[in-house]
Amino acid sequence: MDSKQWAQPLSKEPKALGKYEVLCRLSTGGMSEIFLAYQRGIGGFRKIVALKTILPDTRGHEDVVRMFLNEARVTAEFSHPNIVQVYDLGIDNDMLFLAMEYVQGCNVVEMVRACHSAKQSIPMGFSLAVARDTALALSYAHSFVDMRHRKRPIVHSDVAGKNIMVSYDGTTKLLDFGIAKMQDTSPQAFSGVIKGTKGYMSPEQLLGLPLDGRSDIFSLGIVIHECLTGFRLFHESSSEKKKTSILNRPIPLPSSLNPKIPSPLDSVVMKALEKNPYARFQSALEFARALENAAGEHIWRAEQVGELVSQHFSQRREQTRELIEEVQARLNDVTGQIQLEGFFNKNTLEEAALLENNPLEENIPPPPETADNSAPPAFVSTTDENTLTLLSPEQLQAESPPSPPPPLAVHSENNPGRSALVPIPYPPLEKNTQAPPSGEAEYKTNPLYALLANKRFVFVLAALLSLGSLLSLVLLLI
């Protein structure tokens, strides 16, 4: 893929959108566009994000605005490693924008095109790993519980290759919850129009029926079928023909198009593509575990997935790096340094600058050489607190015994630039020479007190008394 078509800087000076500086445009869709941007803060803080905005032609459409706000509201509390995280929702000059996690990599559609351009088939292990991780993301959304411990199952309703990202480190990320809805909500809930990607909607979604997580399982089944075979499953030209094909046409076995696919994997994919929701996997987690069991050693690890992405999109990765480095070199972040001066005194800032220019390791002098290498050198302090004197083993033996540890110290106010240590005098320990009260002394010297203080004697006495009471009761009964 030509990286020049992927990202173009907007101008020499980045365009501001709220608290974010826009670097370039990443992609443009039917209703929105994505920008690469970063948030700049004090002390050199920078965070790279992806900004999603509504296209100018569709900003006046109430339905589009509702979908945009719905995505922010639905995903605000999501926290899952396989779902793109949403950071912020803002408005600038009547332009709504959504700040999201920036995933460096490609989506599944781009990977399919890259493999096709290289005249390679899509590796089975890649397809299985991406499908498994996407199923885990869907499982999280379908069983989502908010921070108030309320069940809020969310149906994505637009699972397709364009909405599944794969990063350079092999992490799969599901994104674009714009038309996501609460479970058992009709797909016509917003405007009476069924929304979703053509060729990837479930039969119940096409019929306008209430949806649950099994609808997303069907859509993901289409994605993995196409990745495993390399062919579009529902490739009809018109929307009506696609609808008829999804509702009525039998689905071919993946192995009929790719003989390398094992039979157990055939069964898993076909179960996900059952037209009757009750015949499919009843949860996305069940689907993910079934994929793992059927794939066995065929499924790739994350590092293998990341290696494939890096192989096909190295030029894009390099362009992103160069773009970010160019912007960082152009921007002079003096504002952060000025704002930090309010938190630290002058001496602290000077010491921090000195350490930054001269690392601590470089300021440590090498140990002095000794004539006798048989014994390690020993250092003792002299009267000067900043000087260390090297002593030989003979001198160490002649030294007096070590003095007791110094007393505790407090800071002195005589020298404000550098705190000195002032010894705290220890108060003399006072011995308690007072005799106990006479009554208490007589009590403790009483022999009966010593006898009662013996636990064994008290236990035996109690046992004898109990035995005596028992014998008395027996005699009375006789």
Confidence of residue 143 (pLDDT cuts 50, 70, 90): very high
How far apart, in whole angstroms, are the C-alpha atoms of residue 276 and residue 273? 9
Confidence of residue 24 (pLDDT cuts 50, 70, 90): confident
pTM for the model stands at 0.68
Averaged over 117-134, what is the pLDDT? 96
Question: Which residue would you say has higher pLDDT here, 322 or 360?
Answer: 322
| Report for 68-77, 118-127, 381-390: range of highest mean pLDDT | 118-127
CATH for 104-312 (1.10.510.10, 2.60.120.1360, 1.10.230.10, 3.40.50.2300)? 1.10.510.10
Q: What is the pLDDT of residue 400?
A: 53
166-175, 261-270, 372-381, 391-400: lowest mean pLDDT where?
372-381
Residue 353 has pLDDT above 60, yes or no: no
> Residue 341 has which token pair?
């001066």
Q: How far is CA 157 from CA 173, 193, 195, 255, in A?
A: 16, 13, 8, 27
Q: Is 63 a catalytic residue?
A: no
Looking at the chain, the whole-number percentage of residues with pLDDT higher than 90 is 41
Q: What is the dihedral of CA 163, 164, 166, 171, to 10 degrees?
A: 130
Q: What is the pLDDT of residue 390?
A: 53
User: How many Cα atoms are found within 13 Å in the side-chain-facing hemisphere of 255?
Assistant: 12
Q: What is the pLDDT of residue 420?
A: 46
Q: What is the pLDDT of residue 342?
A: 56
pLDDT tens digits, 294-338: 998 999 999 999 999 999 999 999 988 888 887 777 665 544 454
Q: What is the pLDDT of residue 361?
A: 47
How far apart, in whole angstroms, are the C-alpha atoms of residue 79 and residue 85? 7
Q: List the catalytic residue out of 158, 176, 212, 216.
A: 158
End-to-end CA distance of the chain: 109
pLDDT tens digits, 200-210: 999 999 999 99
Contacts of 466 (CB under 8 A, 6+ apart): none
Kindly report, as residue ranges, where domains of CATH 1.10.510.10 are found in the chain: 104-312
Q: What is the pLDDT of residue 202?
A: 95
- 1-102+314-345: CATH class: alpha beta
Kindly report, as residue ranges, where domains of CATH 3.30.200.20 are found in the chain: 1-102+314-345
